[in-house]
Amino acid sequence: MNNELSPELDQRFRIHVERIVRPVRAAERRKDRMREELLAHSTSAYFEERQVHSSDDDAVMAVFDRLGESAELTKELQAGVSWVERVLFSGEKAPTRVKRWVMRKPGESVWRCAARSTAFYGLLFPLVIVGAAYTLVPVLGLKPDGFARLNANGSILLPFYLISLVFCFLGTPSMEAVHRALWGPVKRYRLAIWICLLYLLSVLAVCFWVRWEALDGSFVVSPDLWVFAGVAVATPVILIISSRLGYSERQRYYRWTSLDLAE
Amino acid sequence: MKKISGNALRGHLDAMVLATLARGEAHGFEIMQRLGAAGRGALELKEGTLYPVLYRLEAAGMIVGKWETGATERRGPRRRIYKLARNGRRDLKRRQEQWRQFIQVIGGIVEAPT
């Protein structure tokens, strides 16, 4: 039996499931699981009902009835979530909006998405750093001139900022390309290795350039090189892991959370 | 046959799910189908209520769930396959004993000749 719904029906079931799951205060991973399972159940029930009912509408209404009252189901799903998780994720609305803004929208080019998320983090990082300067430095008892020295000639903070932005911008397309190469319908291991190497080289190039600039062109072998070696090992590993764990999950997450429940 | 509704079943749903999974691993929809068949159409259960039960049992270590792998021919949303864990098997045995005792004692009282 073909268990694939038409896009319209799929959308109707998704909206119904999202109405049940969205109000639950729980971690997104848990909610994602609820969504997937309820959607799979609705799909199977629909094909069963379609053999009894003559119209799609009747079959869909029968499935909704079989699942039960949405508010009641939300309450039951909520009851299974520990109070700690409930408290931790009670204010999920704001992060959800932020995540949705940073995530790639359907039909959007990967470069545009990379530019948008880079702009977002580009604005966020200075705020975090300035916030830390004004709160943590006095609290930890550091001398204010120590912090000022860090920023002298843009030696630490500016390079750190630039590296973060490069990571950010190249990260999105690289992650997507690695995901396609390793977990797409056609496995392209060599391509995945090349992407990882290119990503790594660009990150290392930026690191070396920043280091060169910071030392006024007098680049010497220093303990900082160990940091570069760490970056060299960590970058491909992080890229592969995040493309496996993060990419498809984020795509799914966006698909669910962008549903308009007023439909 | 008169229908047995959700409220009457509420306290027994965990045991019923465990007993269903004792017959072999299954995904949510299949568990519901097995329950329906075993209840011979008398169970009136809202199907969505099965999932909170499954999550509760999994959190308690009674059942183990894993996502269906992509190896199947089936298309559509992913399903989670559940199977009984050792703890669940033990718990089911305990519940079955309790149930037999319950029927014996309460049945003896309720069905006593007036």
Best of B14, B51, B53 to mutate (most A CBs within 10 Å, chain A): B51
Model pLDDT, residue A2: 57
The answer to whether the CB of A16 falls within 8 A of the CB of A70 is yes
Query: Is A66 an 8 Å CB contact of chain B?
Result: yes
Higher pLDDT, A101 or A6: A6
> What are the boundaries of each domain within chain A?
7-91, 106-255
Average pLDDT over residues A92-119: 74
Average predicted confidence (pLDDT) for chain A: 78
Model pLDDT, residue A87: 84
Best of B46, B50, B53, B81 to mutate (most A CBs within 10 Å, chain A): B46
Give the pairing type, strands B80-84 and B63-67.
Answer: antiparallel
Query: Is B13 an 8 Å CB contact of chain A?
Result: no
Model pLDDT, residue A75: 93
Tokens 């009457």 — which residue? B8
Q: CB under 8 Å to A17, separation ≥6 — which residues? A: A35, A38, A39, A42
| Model confidence pLDDT, tens digit, residues A245-257 | 766 666 677 777 7
Query: Is A39 an 8 Å CB contact of chain B?
Result: yes
Q: Write the residue in B46, B51, B76 that is nearest to A38 by C-beta.
A: B51
Distance (Å, rounded) from C-alpha B88 to C-alpha A170? 48
Beta bridge partners of B5: B44
Model pLDDT, residue B27: 94
User: Residue A216 — very low, low, confident or very high, per pLDDT cuts 50/70/90?
Assistant: low
Q: What are phi and psi for residue B65, nearest 5 degrees?
A: -120, 145
SS3 B42: coil
- Contact (CB<8Å) B29/A45: yes
Model pLDDT, residue B20: 95
Per-residue pLDDT tens, chain B, 114 aa: give them: 677 776 667 778 899 999 999 999 999 999 999 998 888 777 778 888 999 999 999 999 999 999 887 655 556 788 999 999 999 999 999 999 999 998 888 888 888 776
Q: Write the residue in B47, B52, B74 that is nearest to A67 by C-beta.
A: B47
Model pLDDT, residue A211: 67
| Model confidence pLDDT, tens digit, residues A139-197 | 666 655 555 555 555 555 676 677 778 778 888 888 888 888 887 767 788 888 888 88
User: Residue A95 — very low, low, confident or very high, per pLDDT cuts 50/70/90?
Assistant: low
Amino acid at B111: E
- Contact (CB<8Å) B49/A80: no
Query: Is B78 an 8 Å CB contact of chain A?
Result: yes
Domains of chain B from N-terminus onward: 4-110 (1.10.10.10)
| Model confidence pLDDT, tens digit, residues A43-88 | 999 999 999 998 999 999 999 999 999 999 999 999 988 888 888 8
- Contact (CB<8Å) B52/A77: yes
Beta bridge partners of A85: none
Q: Which residue from A160, A164, A148 is spatially nearest to A210, judged by alpha carbons?
A: A160
Q: Which residue from B13, B20, B52 is spatially nearest to B35, judged by alpha carbons?
A: B20
From the CA atom positions of chain B, what is the Rg in Å? 16
Model pLDDT, residue A205: 77
SS3 A107: coil
Most confident of A3-7, A194-198, A214-218, A223-227: A194-198
Q: What is the DSSP letter of B61?
A: T
Residues from chain A that touch B48, judged by Cβ atoms under 8 A, are 20, 38, 41, 67-68, 73, 76
Distance (Å, rounded) from C-alpha A185 to C-alpha A74? 36
Percent of chain A, pLDDT > 90?
21
Distance (Å, rounded) from C-alpha A14 to C-alpha A6? 12
The answer to whether the CB of B79 falls within 8 A of the CB of A37 is yes
Is the pLDDT reported for residue A119 higher than 70? Answer: yes
